[in-house]
């Protein structure tokens, strides 16, 4: 199915983003998720992307807190 997300590639892409880009992606994804009522697959993909974005932000914050 072409709508499926490669989670490892997504995580790699998120790690390469700076904090501002990552936060912007999270906000944009949340906006798209709230307006994507048309397709269950689309909502599922967006929800996964949002979860991974939040996990990356948490990982970064946890790393900064341990220094």
Q: Which range marks the domain in which residue 51 is found? A: 7-65
Residue 59 lies in a domain: yes
Which 8-state DSSP code applies to residue 37?
A: -
Q: What is the pTM of this model?
A: 0.74
pLDDT band at 3 (very low <50, low <70, confident <90, very high): low
- CB-based contact 33:43 (threshold 8 Å): yes
Place of tokens 């996990």: 55
Residue 1 lies in a domain: no
- Nearest Cα neighbor of 34 from 23, 48, 20, 46 is 46
Residue 58 lies in a domain: yes
Q: Quote the number of domains for the chain.
A: 1
Residue 60 lies in a domain: yes
pLDDT band at 1 (very low <50, low <70, confident <90, very high): very low
pLDDT of residue 28: 94
Residue 2 lies in a domain: no
Q: What are the pLDDT digits (tens) for 30-66?
A: 998 888 666 777 888 899 999 999 999 999 999 888 7
In order, the DSSP letters of 16-64 are: HS-HHHHHHHHHHHHHHHHH--S-HHHHHHHHHHHHHHHHHHHHHHHHH
């Amino acid at each position: 199915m072409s709508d499926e997300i490669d989670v490892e590639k997504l995580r790699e892409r998120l790690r390469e983003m700076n904090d501002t880009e990552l936060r912007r992606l999270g906000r944009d994804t949340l906006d798209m998720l709230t307006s994507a009522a048309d397709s269950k697959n689309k909502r599922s993909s967006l929800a996964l992307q949002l979860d991974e974005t939040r996990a990356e932000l948490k990982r970064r914050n946890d790393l900064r807190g341990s220094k």
